[in-house]
Amino acid sequence: MVVADTYVWARAHLNDNQAQARKARKALAEAQGKGGVFVPVLVLAELSWVLRSAKWDRERILEALEALLQTRGVTVEAPGLVREAIEATRAGGTGGFADHLIAQVGLASGASEVITFDGKFGKGEHVRRLK
């Protein structure tokens, strides 16, 4: 199994550098067919930021992340938490995917709440905005 960093996944999704996109897709396909590709939650958070900065809308980003959960040869860290973060992002207008992923990981690890300066995310359940 290999771990592909955020830039490999970003190039594969964005195709903004055609040479790197081809190399990324080829390496990912080869790895999926051999021992698989592991995707840490940190990579998913970063990938969501990269795709957003590339002007992808929220639903398109969530669909891309969801697709990784369903791709043969791809193992996502904490898939249940990732699914919960995707659904929380989709359901509410309070924060982005990375915010919800941070919350899900923290709460699953025993935290009682998330603290933030983000006014929008600060309206979420189990989230307290610092003023």
Q: How is the chain split into domains, by residue range?
A: 1-77, 79-131
Report the relative pairing of strands 127-129 and 37-39 from DSSP bridges. Answer: unpaired
pTM of the model: 0.94
- Work out the angle at residue 11's Cα, subtended by the Cα atoms of residues 8 and 15, and round it to the nearest 5 degrees: 160
| pLDDT tens for each residue of 53-95 | 999 999 999 999 999 999 999 999 999 999 999 999 999 768 8
Name the one residue in this structure whose structure tokens are 């982005």: 96
Mean pLDDT of the chain: 96
What is the distance between the alpha carbons of residues 101 and 24, in angstroms, rounded to a whole number? 25
